[in-house]
Amino acid sequence: MNTNIQQDPGTGRFMWLWTLLILILLPHHQLYNLPLVSMALYGIWLLGRQPGTLLRQPGAQAFLLLFTCIWVPMLLALPDAANIRSLKTAMEFLRFPLAGLLIMASIRHAPQRRKLWQGITWLCLFWAVDGLIQAVLGVNLLGYPVQPGAEPGNYYITGMFYPHFTLGHVLAILFPLYLEGIRRFARPLRMWRVLLAIPVIIAILLTGRRAAWIMLLLSAGGYAVYIWYSIYRAQTRRFLTASLLFTLLFGLIGGTLYHWDSNFANRVDRTVPDPTHLQESLAEVTSLRTWIWEVSLKMYQDHWLNGVGPRGFRYVYSDYAQADDPFAKTGQTHAHMTLLEVATETGTLGLIGYAIFLWLPWHFWRTRRVAGHSHFAMPLLIALYVCVFPFNTAKAIYSSFLATLLWWLVPLYVAALHSQNPKGEQQA
C-alpha cells in the first residue's frame, strides 16, 4: 500500500473501479459483497492506522448521520426481535459505513468522478441491451433464458439478474444517473442523444414489473424537474418542447409494445382496477399484496414501538394471517411496501429514523447548493429517493440486495455535494 493512498485514499489509481465493481457484480448472487467487504476491511485498516484519513474527509459526518438514522432503530428492535436473524442483519449492515467512507473518497477528485460516471452509464446501457437480446432471442449474452410468469404463456426478461426479477427495478433507480451520463458524455449527438434512453426504457417496460414502471416515472419526472431548474428556467418554451417530444416518444414506445407484445399488454390491462369489483380487482392489480398489507398493519399494532426486528417479518407472518390468506402457509419475506416494512420490523422508532433519513439528504442539498457544490448530486439524490420511496413495493429495504444499492448511492451523493467542481465540469 503506497504512502499516497494512506494519506488520501481518494488518490488511489483504481479506487473508482472498486466502487463501480460493486455495481457490476450486483446481479451475480451476492458477488457484490466481494468488493464491498474488501473495501470495508481496507477501511478498518485505514481507521486503525490513520483515523483522520476517512473520518475527516468532507461529508463524512453527514454520511454517518444518515446511516445512523437507519441502523440505530435496527439495534433498538433487537430486544423484541422474532428471530436471531435480525441480529445477523444488523451486524452485516456495518460493512456499509466502512465501505461507504471509501466510496466517498473514490470520487473526491474530478478524473475519478468522471470515470465512475462513465462506467455507470455504459453499464446501464449494457444491462438494457442484454435484456433486449434476451427478449428477442429467448436467452441473453450469458445464455440465461427468459423467466416464465405465473400465467401460462407469460414471460419476463431478467437479463444479467437471472433468475431474479430485479433488472427493471435497478435500471429504474439508476435512470437519472444514466440520463445525466448521456447528457454529459454524448454531447456531439446533440438532441439525438435522447434516443439513447430508448433501450433502457424498453428494457424496464419489458421486465413486466409494475413497481419498476412506477419507479421509472418517478425517476424521469424527478430528472425533468432537475433539468428545468438547473438549466432551462430561462428557456421554458425550449424545455416544454423537449418534454413534449420525450413524452410522445415514451407514449410511442409504450403503444408499440402494447400492440406487438402480448405479455406487456396483459400486464398493462391488469394494472387498471375494475371499479365494479374494486376489492377483488385491487388484490389482482397489486398481485395479492393487499393481504400482506393487512397483516403488516396488524403486526405493527402489536409491535408499534420497535417492531419484530429487521427481516423478522417472515417468521411471524403466519401468526397474523387469516385462514383464507393465500400466503398463510408459505408466508412472505417482507411487507412489500417500504413504509410498512419499516413500521413492522423497526416500529415507530424506525419510522422516525426513516423520516429523518428522507429529510436530511434534501436539507444537505439545499445547504451545499448555496455554496455551488451540487455537481452530479441531484441525479444521485433522485435515484436515492426512488430507491427508498415510501410506497415502493419492489424489494426489502433491509435486504442485502437493496441495502447494497442504497448504501452505494448514499455515500456517492454526499461526496458529490462536497466535491470541488473544476470549471469545465460545471453544468453542461
Q: Model confidence over 15-31: pLDDT tens digits?
A: 899 999 999 999 998 89
pLDDT digits (tens, 9 = 90+) for 233-281: 778 787 888 788 878 888 888 888 888 877 788 777 777 666 555 566 5
What separation in angstroms does the CA of 69 have from each of 83, 344, 417? 22, 16, 19
Peptide bond into 79 cis (omega under 30): no
* Residue listed under C-alpha cell 416500529: 347
**Residue 96 pLDDT greater than 90, yes or no:** yes
pLDDT score, position 324: 86
CA–CA separation, 116 and 20 (whole Å):
6
**Residue 154 pLDDT greater than 80, yes or no:** no
Q: At 192, give phi and psi (nearest 5°).
A: -70, -15
Catalogue the long-range contacts made by 369-376 (C-beta closer than 8 Å, 24 or more residues apart): 372/421, 373/417, 373/418, 373/419, 373/420, 373/421, 374/416, 374/417, 375/113, 375/416, 375/419, 375/421, 375/425, 375/426, 376/113, 376/117, 376/180, 376/416, 376/419
Domain locations along the chain: 120-271
67, 407 in Cβ contact below 8 A?
yes
| Of 286, 285, 282, the residue nearest 269 (C-alpha) | 285
Q: CB 48: neighbour CB atoms within 10 A? A: 8
pLDDT score, position 10: 47
